Structure 1
Amino acid sequence: MKIGIISDSHDNIDAIAKAVEILNNSNVDLTIHLGDIVSPFCFDWFKKLRSDFLGVFGNNDGEVLFLDKKSEGVLHKPPFEVEIDRKEFILMHEPFGIEKLKTQYDYVLYGHLHKVDIRKTDRGCIINPGELCGCLTKKRTMVILNTTDNQTQLITV
């Protein structure tokens, strides 16, 4: 299964639109957002994804009720545990207990730091796709994960 992983889009519509285009052209099956979408209007662009969408709230997601409504309930309070493609995932915005979690889950996904972190583990991977918005590092990045062969691809948007 191909999964697009993004985080920290912070209302950057240009970056979101480009990411959606890349994810659609890459034929991902699922897109995961790891928090800090920020404004509900961003879902007008995320709804253009041809993949399913799943995510968690971040610390800058202030309009939680309207974000929840616009997302039609696909955003969850972190940490969020989910099984995808017979693999155990934990999704969070702020990193907490990653070294312990990597022994309990196949995939530990987080955002918040605006810094790329891709590490193989005995069970799978730890992934922070960096920031989609590009506001701190001036780099707009995301990751495509293939759960079949545990391969990751860092993509500059």
Structure 2
Amino acid sequence: MKLAILSDSHDHIPNLRRAISRAREAGARVCFHCGDLISPFMVPVLAEFPGPVHLILGNNRGDPHLLEKQVARFENVHFHGEFAFLEEGGLSIAMVHYPELARGFAATGDYDLVLCGHTHVYKVLRVGRTLVINPGEILGKEGAPTFVLYDTESGEVERVELEG
């Protein structure tokens, strides 16, 4: 099963829409957004993904109350607050916005994948048995917008760059 991993969209509707479309075309079944979605008006765009979407907060929170109210309108979008701890595709997954905390979660050995964001820079590293994935940014501030497709069967990590 393929997972789409996104982060740091910072209210950039066109890039988020393109990422969702590319993830759908690639056959992703579940989408994770690792924080800094920011505004409630971004949720309907995120909800265009045809499967479950898991969303956490980042350091640019917008209005969490309004975000939560908007998420409630969509059955496929799940708002987890600061952290998420999930089982998908036979994997134990933790989500947190900050890479420092992600490395800490990974060091416990309790998770197969730990997903994070914040730096706007793509990075994949292994901490013990755990793979830590930062997909880069959807915003496109630090370069081309990127997200990750992760294959739960092969363990392949594919960095997807959105063209302008």
Structure 1: where are the runs of 5+ without partners?
none
- Which amino acid is the alignment partner of residue 107 of structure 1? L
Corresponding residue of 1:30? 30
- Which amino acid is the alignment partner of residue 141 of structure 1? T
The size of the alignment, in residue pairs, is 156
The 2-side partners of 1:14 and 1:40 are apart by 15
The 1-side partners of 2:112 and 2:79 are apart by 21
SS in 2 for 1:96: helix
Deviation at 1:120, TM superposition (A): 3.7
Corresponding residue of 1:133? 139
Structure 2: where are the runs of 5+ without partners?
none
The 1-side partners of 2:129 and 2:91 are apart by 9
The 1-side partners of 2:159 and 2:127 are apart by 17
Within-5 A mapping of 1:1-157: 1-72=1-72, 74-102=78-106, 103-135=109-141, 137-157=142-162
SS in 2 for 1:32: strand
The 2-side partners of 1:71 and 1:23 are apart by 20
Deviation at 1:124, TM superposition (A): 4.2
Contact 1:24 1:51 in 2 (8 A): no
Contact 1:68 1:74 in 2 (8 A): no
- Cα-Cα RMSD: 1.5
Deviation at 1:121, TM superposition (A): 4.7
Contact 2:95 2:102 in 1 (8 A): no
Identity %: 28
Contact 2:9 2:15 in 1 (8 A): yes
SS in 1 for 2:147: strand
Contact 1:132 1:142 in 2 (8 A): yes
Task: List structure 1 runs of 4+ shifted beyond 4 angstroms.
Answer: none
- Which amino acid is the alignment partner of residue 142 of structure 1? F
Deviation at 1:122, TM superposition (A): 4.5
What TM-score do the two structures reach when normalised by structure 2?
Answer: 0.88
